[in-house]
Amino acid sequence: MSADDPSSEPMSPGRLADLVERVANGRDRNAFLGLFDYYAPRLKAFYRRRGTDDARAEDMVQDVMIALWQRADQYDRGQAGVSTWVFTIARNRQIDLIRRERRPELDPEEPALLPSASPIPDAAFDTEQVAVRVRAALEQLPAEQADLIRLSFFEEASHNAIAERLDLPLGTVKSRVRLAMQKLRLALGDDEAQA
């Protein structure tokens, strides 16, 4: 065995870090083969202990080793040992796989995912007519009542929030909103308000 053959020396942490640096610096295939020979069986055992079947474990080992080849330049021996780095990649790959498998497939026919139907022209016209009538009715209200209706219904503020914002007693806010609603119903021709 030659001095460049990674299998000719024991795999100490320093030796493993040297091999990763050789892969990073020159895409050294012999160094990568040494890393592969060392880590592939360990990674497979790691995945098998975590409940992965043989075929999937082998695929995941290949995936981790490809990541090692592609990211060798990101390894920093001052931050962690090679084994820590490699098994972190392995763990993260497994987590990603589990997340993908747990995510349900989206049903393209799911009503919530379908675009809403275009409004029927008559309905859009009717909606616009109602909006015009409501705006006109709001303009007929005293300013303080119109402001309360805008805050309550258009800004969706609670009666408590309106009372704090306008520095009014809560009962006053409630009675003014009720009075304003009665006036709006009358202005819009609501039969219940007239009864």
The amino acid sitting at 151 is: L
Length of the chain: 195
Q: Residue 125 domain-assigned?
A: no
> Which parts of the chain register pLDDT below 50?
1-3, 5-9, 191-195
Q: Which domain holds residue 86?
A: 6-102
87 lies in the same domain as 29: yes
Q: What is the pLDDT of residues 92-107, one digit of tens each?
A: 888 888 887 776 666 6
Indicate the pTM of the whole model.
0.48
Q: Residue 107 domain-assigned?
A: no
Q: Residue 111 domain-assigned?
A: no
As given in the structure block, the two tokens for residue 44 are 């497979």
CA distance 41 to 23: 20
Using the 8-state DSSP alphabet, how is residue 175 labeled?
Answer: H
